Structure 1
Amino acid sequence: MSRVVTAGIDGSQEGLDAADWAAGEAALRSCLLRLVYVWRDMAGGGGYASDPDIERRAAEALLHAAAEHLRVAHPHLRIETQQKSGRPADELSAEGARSELLVLGSRGFGGIRGFVAGSVSLAVLARMRSPLVLVRNRPDREAAPTPDRGDVVLGLDLPRASTDALAFAFAAADRYRCGVKVVHSWSLPPVYGMGATDVVPTLMRETSDERQKEMTEALAPWTETYPHVPVTRDCRQGHPTQDLVEASFGAGLVVVGLRHRDARLGSHIGPVVHAVLHHTAAPVAVVPHS
C-alpha cells in the first residue's frame, strides 16, 4: 500500500468537494494526493459509442482544473492525476486497495450519485478492505470542507469492538487536534413479558454496567497511546442508528466499522452504516474489519 490519499472525481460538485477534503487530509498526512477520473469506453457495447479521444481530453481538462484549484489552497501538496477506462466499481476499488484512503463524493439523502450511483457505491463499499471516506456536498460554497472541524465521532460496536475503526478514529483526532466522541447504544433482548417487570430494572443496570466496562476495555489501549486526545463516552440504552446520527451533528468526521461479509451474501452494508451515510452532514469514514 502506497502513502497516497486517492479522490475519485467525475465532474460533479460532490466529486470536487471530495477532492477538497482529500487534499486537506493528504496535507495533514504529508502524503501524495491522487485524483482519479473513471470513464466508460462504450465502443462495441451496442448503443451509443463515445469517442475515446474526446473522453480522454475531457477527463484531462477536468483533472487539470481540479489539480490547479487544489494547488492554490495547498501549494506544498504533491498532486498527481490519473484517468482510467473501465467499470467504475472495479477501478475505484483497485485504487482504494493501493491507497491509505479512498475519498468519494456523496449526495446524502437518497444515495450516492455520480460514477458511484446506486449499486456501484454499494459494490465499492462491499469490496473495500481499506478505509473509504464519503464526503457530502456543501450547500455553502464559501466554506471548504476541512478534516479538522468538530470532534471525531466513533460508532462503537460492543462487545465486538473494531480495533481498525478505533485506530482510525484516534489517529484522525490526533491529526486534527480534536477529541473523540465514542457512541454505543444497547437494548434489552425482547424476551421479557408483562410478568417480568420486576426483572427489567435489574437487567438494565447489569447490561449498562457490562457495556460500560466493555467500552472502557476497548478504549484503554488507545487512550494510553493518545493520552492528549480528549475522549467523551456516550454509552446508553437506545437505538444505534438514531443515536449515532444525532451524535454526529457538528462532527468533523464520523467513523463506523464495516464487518467483512462473504461475497455470496451480497453488498449489504448494515442499517447503521446505511443511516449514517444518508443522514449525516459530516464526512463519513467506513473502516472495513474482519
Structure 2
Amino acid sequence: MLSPVIAGVDGSPESLAAAEWAAREALRRDRPLRLVHVRDRHPRGHSGEPANAAQRQPAPRALRQAVERMRSVVPDVLVTGEHVDGPATGALLKAAERADLLVLGSRGLSGFTGFLVGSVAQGVVARATRPVVLVRKGEEAEDEHVPAAGGAPSIRTGYLDVVLGIDLADACDEVIGFAFEEARSRRARLRVVSAWQPPSSTSLGPGDIALVDDPERAEEWQGFLHAVLAVWRDKYPESEVLETVVEGKASTALIRAASAASLLVVGRRLPERPTVPRIGPVTHAPVHHVGCPLAVVPHA
C-alpha cells in the first residue's frame, strides 16, 4: 500500500488550511490522505501552549468534520482519519515515520509575513526523519497559482515557481530530488537559489590572498551550481530550471525568492546525535518569515 500524505488536524482554521493543502498534494502525488488528530489530555503541560477553542473540541467531532471537508474539497483522493494518543510532538513524529509527507499548520502570522510556529511544529520539524511541510493560516488553493489577467486570484492558471535553496558546499540528493518532483507534479518552473559571500579578513587563512574579484567569483559559483544540477536536468528533461546565484546571506535570498513561490524547499541535516534536535540557521529564517508553504527535507 502506498504511504499516505499525513496532516495533523485539531479543528483550528490553521490545521484545516494545512489539511486542504495536504489534500491537493495527495492528489498531485496520487497518494491517499490520512488526517491525524492527537488526543492530548494535558496540552498546556506537554507543549507549553494553552489549548484554543478549536483544540478543545471533542476529538471525534473535530476529526469527522475535517474528513468530511477534505472529501468535499478533493473528492478524487481517498481520505481517512485516525485518533492517536499524545503528547502531540511525539505522536506526530511517530505518524511521520509512516508518511510520504507530513503537513502541519502554523498558528498564525509572525511580525513579518510568515509563520508563527508553535513549539509542537518546531519540535516536529527539528526531529522528523521524513519531509515536513508547514502551511500558514489562510493559505488557499489560488495562492499557489499565477494571478489571472488583471491580477485576480485563480486556480486555472499555472503554478508559481517551486523554489529550492541549495548550499553548494553541502548539496544533497534527497533535497534536490524532492524539489524536482514537486516542480514536476505541478508542471511548474523550478528556481534554484544559492548564495555566496566574499571572503573576509577573518576567513582567509595564513598566506591566502583574495585574488578573484566579485564578478569572477559569482561566475565561478554559477558554474558550480550548473554542474551540480546537470544530472538532475537530464533526469527531468521536461522541467524548466532557473539557476540563481546571489551574493549575500542565504536566508535573505530565500525569503526574497519565496515571495513569489508556490513552495519553498530547504534541507535540514540530521544530527549525529538524534537526542540533539536542530533546525539550522538558514532553515530557521524561512520557518519564521516566509508566506508560502515551506518544505523542510531532512538528510544525512
Shorter-chain TM-score above 0.5: yes
CA-CA distance at 1:124 after TM superposition: 1.1
* 1:255-270 mapped onto 2 (5 Å cutoff): 255-263=265-273, 266-270=276-280
* Unaligned segments of structure 1, at least 5 residues: 46-54, 194-198
Range with greater deviation from structure 2 (207-216 or 166-175): 207-216
Q: What TM-score does the superposition give when structure 2 sets the normalisation length?
A: 0.82
Other-structure match for 2:212: 202
- Matching residue of 2:243: 233
Structure 1 position 25 matched with structure 2 position 35: no
Contact 1:2 1:99 in 2 (8 A): no
1:278 to 255, 279, 288: 288
Letter in 2 for 1:8: G
Are the counterparts in 2 of residues 103 and 133 from structure 1 also a CA contact under 8 Å?
yes
1:266/1:112 Cα in 2 relative to 1: closer, same or farther (>3 Å)? Answer: farther
Aligned equivalents of 1:7 and 1:82: distance in 2? Answer: 10
Q: After TM superposition, list the pairs within 5 Å mapping 1:1-290 onto structure 2.
A: 2-42=2-42, 58-106=58-106, 107-109=108-110, 117-118=118-119, 120-138=120-138, 143=142, 149-191=159-201, 200=210, 202-263=212-273, 266-290=276-300
Q: Tell me, what secondary structure is at the counterpart of 1:253? A: strand
Contact 1:112 1:121 in 2 (8 A): no
Question: How many pairs were matched up?
Answer: 271
* Cα separation, partners in 2 of 1:226 and 1:101, compared to 1, 3 Å: same
Amino acid corresponding to residue 263 of structure 2 in structure 1: L
Q: Is the 8 A contact 1:133 1:284 kept in 2?
A: yes
**Cα distance per residue 1:187-241 (max 9 Å; x no partner):** 0222279xxxxx6572434532332222112111111111111111111211111
Task: Give, in whole Å, the separation in 2 of the partners of 1:259 and 1:189.
Answer: 24
- Closer/same/farther in 2, CA of residues 264 and 22 from structure 1, 3 Å limit: closer
Give the drift of 1:75: 1.5
State how far apart, in whole Å, the 1-side matches of 2:249 and 2:215 are: 17
In the aligned structure 2, how far is the partner of 1:288 from the partner of 1:235?
Answer: 23
Per the alignment, do residues 231 and 142 of structure 1 end up closer, same or farther by CA in structure 2, a change over 3 Å counting? closer
Residues 14, 105 of structure 1: 8 Å contact kept:
yes
1:267 to partner: Cα distance: 2.5
Conserved? CA contact 1:20–1:145, under 8 Å: no
Pair 1:204–1:87, CA change in 2 (3 A): same
> Structure 1 length normalisation: TM-score?
0.84
Q: Aligned equivalents of 2:275 and 2:65: distance in 1?
A: 41
Provide the residue aligned with 1:48 in structure 2. Answer: none
| Preserved contact between residue 115 and residue 289 of structure 2 (Cα < 8 Å) | no
Q: Quick one: structure 1 residues 260 and 108, their matched pair in 2 at CA, closer, same or farther if it must change by over 3 Å?
A: farther
| 1:265/1:36 CA distance change after superposition, 3 Å | closer
* Identical-residue share of aligned pairs (%): 37
Q: Is the 1:248–1:254 contact (alpha carbons within 8 Å) kept by the matching residues of 2?
A: yes
| Structure 2 residues without counterparts, runs of 5 or longer | 46-54, 146-154, 204-208
- Once the two structures are TM-superposed, the CA of residue 289 in structure 1 deviates from its matched residue by 0.5
Q: Distance in 1 between matches of 2:137 and 2:79?
A: 22
Aligned mates of 2:29, 2:144 — CA distance in 1: 16
Relative to 1, partners in 2 of residues 1:184 and 1:142: Cα closer, same or farther, differing over 3 Å? closer
Deviation at 1:266, TM superposition (A): 3.0
What CA distance in whole angstroms lies between the structure 1 residues aligned with 2:290 and 2:58?
32
The 8 Å contact of residues 14 and 136 in structure 2, kept in 1 or not, is answered as yes
Aligned residues: CA RMSD: 2.8
